[in-house]
Structure 1
Amino acid sequence: MQDLKAELTASLDEAEWQWLLPHLSRDSLIVVTPELNIVDVGVAIANNNVPLVQNWISQELIHKPSLNQMADWQNNLNKKFQALIVQPFVLIQEPATTNQNSP
């Protein structure tokens, strides 16, 4: 399992929204919310950990892109994501944003 996690960590990359469009058309994009570690999600999917993945789905921590998200991202084709391929899926996660309102 450590080997898989190391392999997935090494293959984690940055991708622009426009590069992800072919995966969207294949319905293979999965959005990972910032609360989760994208590599941990990849490991769970690769290991077919159904109870854990189902739990994340039920909590909406992983999901298909919503129509609102896709519309926002279409307006910014250069928007960057962390991306991880776990066949047949492509996991994406928006980079953490810094809070502009903090003192």
Structure 2
Amino acid sequence: MSDLQKQLQEMVDTAKWDWLEVHALKGRVVIVSPQLDLVEAGVAVAEDNSKLVKQWLDDSWLYAPTEAHIDRWKQERDKEFTSLIIHPFVLIKELPAELPQGI
């Protein structure tokens, strides 16, 4: 693991929608698909690996939240995400909904 990977791994945190909303409205939130590791995406963005980032954008492994996402998350004010700040962007992954007890 590279020094950058270690540094970014330590920066991964949980963020609630209330905090992310202002960044999303400014077009700075990037959703990382389940197929892609958050830190791996962060490394590519931090290193300005435009070829790889473009490929992930083309494959929809990285994408901006839609109005439907934002509307849904506004309804779920306590919605939490795994997040990583790579200035000026905030990379996020939705945390899976918890299963009801006993399932």
TM-score (structure 1 length as normaliser): 0.90
1:62-73 equivalence runs, <5 A: 62-73=62-73
Q: Whole-Å Cα distance in 2 between the matches of residues 49 and 69 of structure 1?
A: 27
2:59 is matched with: 59
1:9 is matched with: 9
Return the offset for 1:21: 1.3
1:48 is matched with: 48
Return the offset for 1:22: 1.8
What's the CA shift string for 1:55-78, capped at 9, x where partnerless?
000011101101111111010010
Asked if the contact 1:34–1:96 (Cα under 8 Å) also holds between the matched residues in 2, the reply is: no
Unaligned runs of 5+ in 2: none
1:24 is matched with: 24
Return the offset for 1:27: 1.3
Return the offset for 1:26: 2.0
Return the offset for 1:33: 0.7
Q: Whole-Å Cα distance in 2 between the matches of residues 3 and 71 of structure 1?
A: 38
Against the structure 1 CA distance between its residues 25 and 84, is the aligned structure 2 distance closer, same or farther, given a 3 Å change threshold? same
Q: Whole-Å Cα distance in 2 between the matches of residues 25 and 48 of structure 1?
A: 23
2:84 is matched with: 84
Query: Matched residue pairs, number?
Result: 101
TM-score (structure 2 length as normaliser): 0.90
**Which amino acid counterpart does residue 75 of structure 1 have in structure 2?**
Q
**Which amino acid counterpart does residue 10 of structure 1 have in structure 2?**
E
Percent pairwise identity: 34
**What secondary structure, in the 3-state scheme, does the structure 2 residue paired with 1:60 have?**
coil
**What secondary structure, in the 3-state scheme, does the structure 2 residue paired with 1:77 have?**
coil
